[in-house]
Structure 1
Amino acid sequence: MKKKFLSILCSMVILCTITTISAFEVKAEELKVVDGSALTMDESSTGYSSSSLLRGEYLMTGESTISKAGLTRVYAYAATTANKQVDYIATLVYVEEYIEEEDGWGQVAWWVEETHDDYFLSTAKSVKVDRGHYYRVRANHIAGDYDDFPYDETASVTDGIYLP
């Protein structure tokens, strides 16, 4: 009797595990992805630069974040970190809106932040946007020394968040 009960119990645990995993996979497949960004209902999203092989000698990481900042505002943040102090470091930040008719992203706002003789740079702004759309942040991260041109460059991008 104990063996039969344990067998049924193990079968139920396995069935529940498979059902749970399948439900998560279906949910992930339902998200639409446009140009590397999933369209989500999340409150915020953070994206990181790609693998270290693509960053070069000076860049260490690039990061971008978008979050809801009220009914008609998003908060955009981006940071660039170099491996060591460099002559030049910059971050170009783009806030983009998903345009359903074109199935692509259109630019809402952009700015550049740069500094010299440093290893870290961050920038953030609150941007006024329209409700009823998806928004994301895309950032280019640049670092290098004056005598070693062109500079290292990488990019980061967030998923799209929806402002109802």
Structure 2
Amino acid sequence: MLLSIETCVKAEGLIDEEIMVDGSRLLYEDCAYGTSKNSMLRGEHLMSGDSIITKTGNGRIYTYGQTTADHDVDFLAVLVYVDRYDKSDGLWGQIDARVKEARDTYYVVSTKTLQVDRGYFYRVRCEHFAGNDDEEFYDDTVSFTDGIWIP
């Protein structure tokens, strides 16, 4: 006989239903991870792209974005956006953005810890690029995390 008991505890006053906003669930978790989904859309050079958001203390979040190519390429980049969910209009609004580029390599990563306003959901959204200078377009894909609540 198998007995399963759910041990998830929700904070008082939080809603039980799952809310999805622009592809991101709103969660009461300590961290969230996102990865590029469709390998057919990544192209010849791009292998993967990942994004991470983690709570790190009172009103602080750690943000991470990385791009990995299948091999060394002329150009590699990750664009990292941090979004905050605004309950009044039901939309994500960008609060921070940065770009990290690299040349003649297969990997680039960008990390940053931010002080943010408490009482909101936050997510990380990334754009990933890889390619060679003699090609017309770079391979590209996106990744994004779910939103996590910062109390």
- TM-score, normalised to structure 1's length? 0.82
Q: Determine the structure 2 residue equivalent to 1:152.
A: 139
Structure with the bigger percentage of helix = 1
Residue 69 in structure 1 maps to residue 19 in structure 2: no
Distance 1:81 1:57 in 2: 12
The equivalent of 2:65 in structure 1 is 78
Opposite residue 147 of structure 1, the aligned amino acid is: D
Query: Which of 94, 114, 118 is the equivalent residue of 1:131?
Result: 118
User: What is the CA-CA distance between 1:72 and the residue it aligns to?
Assistant: 1.4
User: Stretches of 4+ moved more than 3 A in 1?
Assistant: none
Any idea what SS the aligned residue of 2:130 has?
strand
Residue 105 of structure 2: aligned partner: 118
Cα distance in 2 between the residues matched to 1:115 and 1:154: 17
Which amino acid in structure 1 is aligned with residue 72 of structure 2? Q
Q: Distance in 2 between matches of 1:128 and 1:110?
A: 14
Question: Which of 77, 82, 87 is the equivalent residue of 1:100?
Answer: 87
Aligned mates of 2:51, 2:114 — CA distance in 1: 15
Residue 156 of structure 1: how far off its partner (Å) = 0.2
How far did 1:149 drift? 2.1
1:140 aligns with 2:127: yes
Q: Which amino acid aligns with 1:126?
A: T
Task: Please state which structure has a larger fraction of its residues in strand.
Answer: 2
Q: Output the TM-score relative to the length of structure 2.
A: 0.89
- Once the two structures are superposed, the pairs formed by residues 4-19 of structure 1 within 5 Å of their partners are none
Q: Which amino acid aligns with 2:31?
A: S
Gaps in structure 2 of 5+ consecutive residues:
7-15
Q: CA deviation at 1:102?
A: 1.3
* SS at structure 2 position matched to 1:39: strand
What 5-or-longer segments of structure 1 have no aligned partner?
Answer: 1-8, 21-28
Single out whichever of 29-38 and 48-57 deviates more from structure 2. 29-38
Task: For 2:50, give the aligned amino acid.
Answer: E
Whole-Å separation in 2 of the counterparts to 1:74 and 1:31: 22
**Aligned-partner Cα distance in 1 for 2:21–2:90:** 7
| Percent identical residues | 44
Secondary structure of the structure 2 residue equivalent to 1:66: strand
Q: Secondary structure at the match of 1:57?
A: coil
Q: Which of 8, 33, 49 matches 1:46?
A: 33
